[in-house]
Structure formats: structure tokens, C-alpha cells
Chain A
Amino acid sequence: MELGDIRGRSPWEDAWHRLLKNRAAVFSAFIMAAMILVVIIGPWLISWEADFTDWDNTSTGPSLSTGHWFGTDAVGRDILVRTLEGGRISLLVGFVATLVSLVIGVTYGSIAGFYGGITDRVMMRIVDIIYALPFMFFVILLMVVFGRNIILIFVAIGAVNWLDMARIVRGQTLSLKNTEFVEAAQACGVGRLDIIRRHIVPNLLGVVMVYVTLTIPQVILVESFLSFLGLGVQEPMSSWGALVNDGAQDMESAPWTLIFPAVFLTVTLYCFNYIGDGLRDALDPKDR
């Protein structure tokens, strides 16, 4: 990375030091790393299959003797393994959808901001129109038309979520456009798309990183909302949102079906949010 090459106490080193001082963010980062590891490796270590229905133990509470440490759901499936596998899907949806929105948003925003003029106006008008569409309506239609395809959930959520990113990036690009190094590059005859790629996008990194860590938890929540509407991932696959929604129906009669997935979900969302806030404090170029 070009910026890393700058000698002396670079802004990035500063940011790094500031981040390390934020204990909540550092702690969250460790938990998150552990969570990801558990979710990826865990299901291989558990003897239950995620879709195995244990007819002798339907809706039983957490117990060592049945071998279901987190209990079972209404058709006798192991909550522990479903929570872990659900975590895979939730995190995957979070990362991929965010990536989709990131790619669209950064491309769109930087082009609009850099070209300016009529291009900018038209592009931002389009953003305005999409903004005026209720997000839920859009996602529901996509789900209804294309069915419950998990790839589609990624794309649907990402495709709606890029608007904020585009606006932020456009704003940043506008202010970067008039900086000396961009003007210098223009004077040297570097093509506009090249300038966007080489000079604008890397300088957006800080803002983008903050945005990404804050978008992931948002997307995970959106997925859980889709599950609430019954439009989430296809059985027997699961997600934290789907598990929590199922659990919330039976919160009194089978609290374990809610508590375990909910703890995983909540801890994850907290961690991402703390990390995001920490990054923002440390990185946001406007700050301090």
C-alpha cells in the first residue's frame, strides 16, 4: 500500500496507536476472532448433524445426559450445532452483502464525485430515487420473485445498502479532488479512471473501513428481520436471525431455543459495533 511507505510517524501509525488505546475495541476484536473460529471449526467437532431430528428428545432443555448441551428445538434438532452453523450463514451474509455494497458504493460514489457536473447530478438523482423506495418493499419483492436463494439474499441486501456508501464516498471524493496530489496527477496527463483507482480510492480507505465494520452488523440484523417475515434462508439451513426468531416464539416454553442463539448474535453485533466505533475514533480523517 502506497501510504504505508511514507516514512516517519505516518497517519496510519497514529491511527493504530489510537485504536490500541481503545480497550473496548481491542477486546471486541479478540472475541470476534474467537467467535469466527468457533463457528467455522465447531460444527466439525460436534457429533450431531444440523438436520438430524432426535425423536426421543424433542424440545428438551440443555442437558449433558442427552448430549444436547444447548437443548433441542421442536423437531429434536441440536441447538448447539444449529447455532454454530447458523453463525456461518449469518457471518457470511454479513461479509458478502457488505462487500457487494462496498464495491458498488465505492465505484459509484467515486465516479460521481470525481466527474462532477451533470454526471454527478444524474447519478445522485438515481440514488435519491432508490432512497425514496422503502428498503423492505424492495427486498421482499426480490425474495418473492427469485425465491429463497442465499446468494440472492446477499445481493439483495448489498444492492440496497450501497446508497449510504455511495454518498459518503462521493463527499470524500469531492474534497480529495482538489488536493495537490490529484491535481499533480491530472497535470501529468494520468487518465481520470486511473486517478480514481490509484489516488482517490486508497485515500478513502479509512472511511470505508469504518463503514464496513458498521455495515456488517446492520446486514446481519436485516437478515434476521427477513427471517422474522419468514423470508430468510431455506431450511434446513439456518441463521442466527432465523434461530432467534424461532426461539422468540417459544421464549417461555423453551427459553433455551432463544437464549443461546441470541447470545451469539448479540455478542457479535456488539463486537462489530465497538470495533467500528473504535476504528472511527482512530481513523476518521476529519477527527482531531
Chain B
Amino acid sequence: MMHEHGILRHAAQRLLGVLPTMLLLITVVFFLVRVAPGGPFDSEKALPPEIQANLEAKYHLDEPLIQQYFRYLGQILVLDFGPSFQYKDWTVNELIAEGFPVSLTVGGLAMVLAFLVGTMIGITAAMKQNTPVDYSTMGFAMLGISIPNFVVAPLLILVFAVYAGWLPAGGWDWSVQRMVLPVITLALPMIAYVARLTRGSMIEVLHSNFIRTARAKGLPEKTVIRRHALKPAMLPVISFMGPATAGLITGSVVIERIYAIPGLGSYFVTGALNRDYTLVMGVVIFYGLLIILLNFIVDLLYAWLNPKIRYDEEY
């Protein structure tokens, strides 16, 4: 009872804490994007001053910065991220609404794949610590953080799409075939991190007293791992997955660019490079919210996995 009360109180506190965090985040982002030289309407064909003025007036860029800031805050309150400067026919809300499901699908699948493969490799390696099995499985897992994904992606396309002709070379239409290569590419680095964390914590757990006790009772090793070791060994993995998931489901620029996938990730880069202020602020704030939300979920999961946790220290 006491414990559940603690979780609820903690949850309420956390949610209250979100507001000032978001406000600060919005403020920082708003002024950061304005620091970059150049503006959204600069282009190779320089605009006559009157047209430049027309454009700025249309998007309120002629107002003092502080006034623009409060105008923006007012918009955010009603969850309106405004029109995109770059993609003029669309609002930022629409762009996020179109891109997010794509990123969520690719990122979510990659996360699941990484979790499954990564934990399997990690457990195997932990059980055979410092043997060739350990080195080779971990060696395989580390592939993803030893070769940049902008090399892996075109290589996979070349082999599986261009040479073998088994899968499409890119593009997006919600079909499973088109998801296979991007999901694998996106999962590869994550597999490495998950495997490493699992291996480390599994080794630790396997050396702990309660596992020794369980073994002493004569339980088979598989049962020991499944019943006793798995849950505590997953703790660090879970806390890692929170922010990592946010990164994955807001997409990866590399994956989106090379596989021509219309997700959210590219907007972080193109938005910043095009000085599409509203778009880049929109996706950054969206990402911030997602991170906070996921960390919150991770906390709850953590508490569920490990009832001993004390909230006054962790926060």
C-alpha cells in the first residue's frame, strides 16, 4: 500500500515538473534557432526588399523577437505549431501527424528487434563469459556501433535490392517489404547497446547470492535464468531503452535519407538548415515531450521490476 501511494505521489510530482521543463525547453529552442545566421527566405535568387518585407510580414517575422516569442507561446498553449516556412502548403502539426506514424512504426519495430536480439546475445555471452562464444557473439553485436549506418544502409540496399532483387531499394508505402531493411539498419546499433548492458548486468546477477542459492537448490541453469536472473538483469536495459526509444521513434536522419522514408527525423536537420523556425521548434518540442513521457514510463516500469527503489533519492 505504502509503495503504491509512493508511485502515485511521484507520478503527480513528475507531471507537475513537466510544465516548467517544457517552458524552459521552448524558450531555449526559440532563441537558439534565431541565433543561426540567415533566415527562412534567403535563397540563391535574392529577393527584392519589398518581397522580402511581404514575406516577413506574412509570417510575423517583422515583429520584435520578444513579441514573436509570446505569440509563439500563445500558439503552443492551444497546441498549434504554426505553418511551416519551408513546406508552405502544410502546417507543422500536419507534418508531424504524417511523419510520426512512419517513424513510430520503423522505430518501434527496430526497438523490438533490438531488444529481442540484444538480450539473447547478452545472455548467451554472459553465460559463456570470456570464451570464444562470448567474444564472437559480442563481436557480432558490436557490428552496429563499429560501422557507420550510412555505410551499412547502402550496402544492404545494394546486396538485397539491386543485386539479389529480393527487397525494394527504398521508398515507403506501409508494406512490410519496404520496412525490412530500414528496421534492420536502425536496430543494429541498438542491438549492440542492449547486448552489452544485458551481458554486464547478467554477469552481475549471476554472481549474486540469491542466484547461488537457487543453483544450490539444484535448479537447472535455464530455469535459474528464466525465473530468477532475468527480471533483475533487465533493470539497466529498461532504463536505457527509455531515452533510446525516443531517439529511434523520432527517426534517424541517415535511415530516412538513404531509404527515402518520410519520417520525422529529417526535419531536425532540414528544419535547422532551412531555418524553418516553426518546423524545427515543433519537432524539437515534440521530441522533448516524448522523452519526458518515456522517462516517466521507464520510471514506472522500473518501480514495478524493482520494488525496493526509493524515490527521494532517484528523481
Contacts and interface: CB of A to CB of B under 8 A. Distances in A.
Interface in B143-165: 145-148, 150-151, 154-155, 158
Contacts of A125: 17, 21
Interface string A105-149: 000000000000000010011001101111011101100110000
Given A129-B25, A248-B154, A288-B204, A144 B148 contact: no
| Binding site secondary structure of chain A | helix
Across chains A and B, which 9 residue pairs bring their CB atoms closest together, nearest first? A132-B288, A269-B146, A132-B291, A228-B150, A24-B135, A144-B36, A224-B148, A140-B272, A266-B146
Interface of B: 17, 21, 24-25, 28-29, 32-33, 35-37, 129-130, 135, 138-139, 142, 145-148, 150-151, 154-155, 158, 192, 196, 199-200, 203-204, 207, 243, 247, 250, 253-254, 268-269, 272-273, 280, 283-284, 287-288, 291-292, 313, 315
B146 A270 contact: yes
A287 B21 contact: no
B161 to A, nearest CB: 13
Contacts of A133: 25, 28-29, 284, 287-288
Contacts of B272: 137, 140-141, 144
Contact of A141 (B32, B192, B253): B32
A66 to B, nearest CB: 26
Given A141-B36, A273-B146, A134 B203 contact: no
Interface residues of A, number: 49
A68 interface: no
21 contacts: A125-B21, A128-B21, A129-B24, A131-B291, A132-B288, A133-B284, A136-B253, A137-B268, A137-B284, A140-B268, A141-B33, A144-B273, A145-B35, A221-B145, A225-B148, A229-B253, A265-B146, A265-B148, A274-B142, A284-B200, A286-B204
Contacts of A270: 139, 142, 146
A203 interface: no
A258 B154 CA distance: 12
A223 B28 CA distance: 24
A224 B268 CA distance: 18
A68 B16 CA distance: 64
Contact of B147 (A129, A145, A225, A262): A262
A73 interface: no
A245 B150 contact: yes
A217 B203 contact: no
Interface in A17-49: 21-24
A136 B269 contact: yes
Contacts of B247: 134
B36 A145 contact: yes
Contact of B130 (A22, A138, A284, A286): A22
Contacts of B29: 133
A136 B253 CA distance: 9
A218 interface: yes
Contacts of B199: 277
Contacts of B158: 251-252
B284 A134 contact: yes
Contacts of B284: 133-134, 137
A144 B37 contact: yes
A269 B254 contact: no
A124 B192 CA distance: 28
B148 A228 contact: yes
Interface string A249-288: 0011000001000100110011001100100110010111
A266 B17 CA distance: 42
A241 interface: yes
Contact of B250 (A134, A224, A265): A134
A244 interface: yes
A237 B250 CA distance: 33
Interface string A216-233: 011001001100110000
A139 to B, nearest CB: 10
A132 B25 contact: yes
A174 interface: yes
Contacts of A21: 130
A269 B145 contact: yes
Contacts of B32: 138, 141
Given A121-B315, A132-B25, A133-B28, A217 B135 contact: no
Nearest to A278: B130
Contacts of B135: 23-24
A143 to B, nearest CB: 10
Nearest to A280: B200
A262 to B, nearest CB: 6
A232 to B, nearest CB: 12
B196 A277 contact: yes
A251 B315 contact: no
Contacts of A134: 247, 250, 268, 283-284, 287
